[in-house]
Amino acid sequence: MRLTQGTFSFLPDLTDEQISAQVQYCLDRAWAVSIEHTSDPHPRNTYWEMWGQPMFDLVDAVGFMESLAECREAHGDRYIRVLAFDASPGWESVRLSFLVNRPEHEPGFRLERREMSGRIIRYTTHSYATDRPVDERYGRTNGAEPEAHGS
Amino acid sequence: MGPETVGGGAGAADAADGAVDLRALYDASGAREILEQLDRELVGLVPVKRRIREISSLLLVERARREVGLSHEAPTLHMSFTGNPGTGKTTVAHRMADLLHRLGYIRRGQLVSVTRDDLVGQYIGHTAPKTKEILKKAMGGVLFIDEAYYLYRSENERDYGQESIEILLQVMENQREDLVVILAGYADRMDHFFSANPGFRSRIAHHIEFPDYRDEELISIARTMLERQNYRLSEAAEDALQEYVALRRAQPHFANARSIRNALDRARLRQANRLFQADAGPLNAAELSTLDEADIRASRVFSGGLGGAGREATAAAPADPEAPPDSEAPPDPGAGS
Ligand SMILES: Nc1ncnc2c1ncn2[C@@H]1O[C@H](COP(=O)(O)OP(=O)(O)O)[C@@H](O)[C@H]1O
Ligand SMILES: [Mg+2]
């Protein structure tokens, strides 16, 4: 199941050239960009792991693309996203957030029904991937090495 | 100047016959404004300005050659600026960034100015991330490394500077279209640095030397600086400044135009103090903007500066004759009225 989170997620995956252009758009507006990754794509999991510090004072997207390449090298089997923060209102607010990497195989979510007293049902989404330890979540079940994502 | 042929109004490249109009290319780039501004705002520096014009012609021709398919590789544009402090290296580097941007050799045109401390860390594993961080910020623009020779410490072969040097060399070679590096510093130390680091020497395409300013040039720089702030020198003050320049040059920590800037800052302070103390009724614009002889002559430079036993060179005074002496504290605004 293809994960749709953040801006552009209903479009085909962005190419590196398109990612770079979007990041340049952010930099031109003096937004600080940062990279985050996770193996738990639950929609309510807002706190992904940071890849380095937010990149303040960056002028050109080349520096960002180098960081992204490093992150993909280390975590190519995970979801990776870009966040762009705008500090001009006096606090850091997210202006733009979009996925720049996804696992090759995305197991998706199942809906769980929990039956409560009085015929009440509670619903919850459960990510299949999180049934397994962090490092094994997106590996192939046949035992092959998880493939690094490249786009 | 650039090409001297008077170009027509046509576009830079004429697709029909593959011809390129250099003049149109030059006009469209906006490089002219930068070069004219350089001439107008920077006194002297004749050899520097000449070299910059040569480089811009070269880059313009290179661009034309690219347009007609004669060249494909990004030229090496890394430079070294050598000269004593206050000779305009940092100022010119900013203009150079702007120029390279307009001529299309860097994408953004920012200048990131650093020294060893910004690039080199304090412990193992600290240096590479620091250097890379700076490089990311400089991408698309110019990285200006002031006193670059501090990166290399010959007495310690395990100095962390070496790691930074290796990263820089790699980027200077492989990412020529992403960034231009300018190394700056004293000429003799730079020579030594280059002979110990041939990798740097071979990657630097343009060596530009910044000569010390002559006395007249420093006076003229003083005039430009004051003009910009709507101040002027009285005739006697200008004579005093001539003497000041000659004396100051022989004293320690002389830093060319920067010493002049500092001298003028203190002269303005003394002028304000003088006007305030005199308390002579309403002042007109001329009085408010004129620096007088006394405002210059009160400087310690006239009483021997560093070594002298002048009136202001007390034992407690700092060694630098440009440091503001205590006796010249700003007036207390409540005292006179
Ligand atoms: N040729 C010049 N004309 C006018 N001002 C100058 C000139 N050269 C230097 N200055 C001024 O002197 C000061 C020091 O110059 P800077 O570029 O910082 O020197 P450096 O980097 O060589 O130490 C600056 O305020 C600069 O504006
Ligand atoms: Mg400088």
pLDDT in tens, B123-153: 999 999 999 999 999 999 999 999 999 999 8
Q: Identify from A34, A58, A62, A65 which residue to disrupt to test chain B contact, counting B C-beta atoms within 10 A and taking the largest count.
A: A62
Q: Alpha carbon B336 to chain centroid distance? A: 41
**pLDDT exceeds cutoff 50 at A78:** yes
Under the banding of pLDDT at 50, 70 and 90, the label for residue B319 is low
CA distance B71 to B73: 6
Q: Which of A121-125, B219-223, B260-264, B315-319 has the lowest mean pLDDT?
A: B315-319
What the block records as the tokens of A116 is 């409560």
In a domain, A1, yes or no: no
Neighbours of ion ligand 2 (CB under 5 A): B 90
CA distance A89 to A30: 12
Q: How far apart are the first and last CA of chain B?
A: 58
> Strand, helix or coil at A69?
helix
**The predicted structure's pLDDT at residue B328:** 42
CB distance B149 to B189 below 8 Å: yes
In a domain, A135, yes or no: no
In a domain, A41, yes or no: yes
CA distance B63 to B292: 52
**The predicted structure's pLDDT at residue B321:** 60
B221-237 pLDDT per residue, tens: 999 999 999 999 999 99
Q: What angle do CA B86, B319, B262 make, to 5 degrees?
A: 35
- Residue B70 Cα distances to B22, B24, B66, B73, B106, angstroms: 15, 19, 6, 10, 20
Best probe residue, ligand 1, of B38, B41, B91 (max atoms within 8 Å of C-beta): B91
In a domain, A53, yes or no: yes
- Residue A25 Cα distances to A31, A61, B140, B301, angstroms: 9, 9, 14, 53
> Is B108's CB within 8 Å of A60's CB?
yes
Decide: B90 in ligand 1 pocket, CB within 6 A: yes
**pLDDT exceeds cutoff 90 at B7:** no
> Is A64's CB within 8 Å of B107's CB?
no
Decide: B91 in ligand 1 pocket, CB within 6 A: yes
User: Edge-to-edge, what's the strand order for the sheet holding A79-86?
Assistant: A49-55, A32-38, A79-86, A93-101
What's the mean pLDDT when you consider all of chain B? 86
Decide: B261 in ligand 1 pocket, CB within 6 A: yes
CA distance A107 to A90: 40
Contacts A60 to B, Cβ<8 Å: 107-108, 139-141, 178
CA distance B111 to B144: 7
Contacts B137 to A, Cβ<8 Å: 57-59, 63
Burial class (CB in 10 A: 0-12, 13-18, 19+), A144: exposed
**Range A109-133 average pLDDT:** 93
pTM of the model: 0.82
This model of the complex carries an ipTM of 0.75
State the residue range of the domain holding A30.
16-101
Contacts A63 to B, Cβ<8 Å: 135-137, 139
**Range A96-124 average pLDDT:** 94
**Range A4-22 average pLDDT:** 96
In a domain, A109, yes or no: no
Q: How many domains does chain A have?
A: 1
Decide: B37 in ligand 1 pocket, CB within 6 A: no
> Is B137's CB within 8 Å of A58's CB?
yes
Partner residue facing A57 (CB), from B108, B137, B140: B137
Q: How far apart are the first and last CA of chain A?
A: 19
In a domain, A66, yes or no: yes
In a domain, A127, yes or no: no
> Is B135's CB within 8 Å of A59's CB?
no
**Range B157-182 average pLDDT:** 94
B136 reaches A (C-beta below 8 A): yes
* Ligand whose nearest atom lies closest to the CA of B115: 2
In a domain, A107, yes or no: no
What the block records as the tokens of B267 is 């002269």
Q: Identify from B98, B136, B177, B178 which residue to disrupt to test chain A contact, counting A C-beta atoms within 10 A and taking the largest count.
A: B136
Under 8 Å CB-to-CB from B240, ≥6 apart: which residues? B293, B296, B297
Q: Which helix (DSSP H) or strand (DSSP E) does residue B32 occupy? A: helix B31-41
What would the DSSP string read from start to end of B232-299? Answer: EE-HHHHHHHHHHHHHHHTSTT--HHHHHHHHHHHHHHHHHHHHHHH--S---HHHHHEE-HHHHHTS
**pLDDT exceeds cutoff 80 at A150:** no
Which CATH number covers residue A56? Answer: 3.30.190.10
- Residues of chain B above pLDDT 90, percent: 71
> Is B141's CB within 8 Å of A57's CB?
no
**The predicted structure's pLDDT at residue B323:** 57
Decide: B221 in ligand 1 pocket, CB within 6 A: yes
Decide: B42 in ligand 1 pocket, CB within 6 A: yes
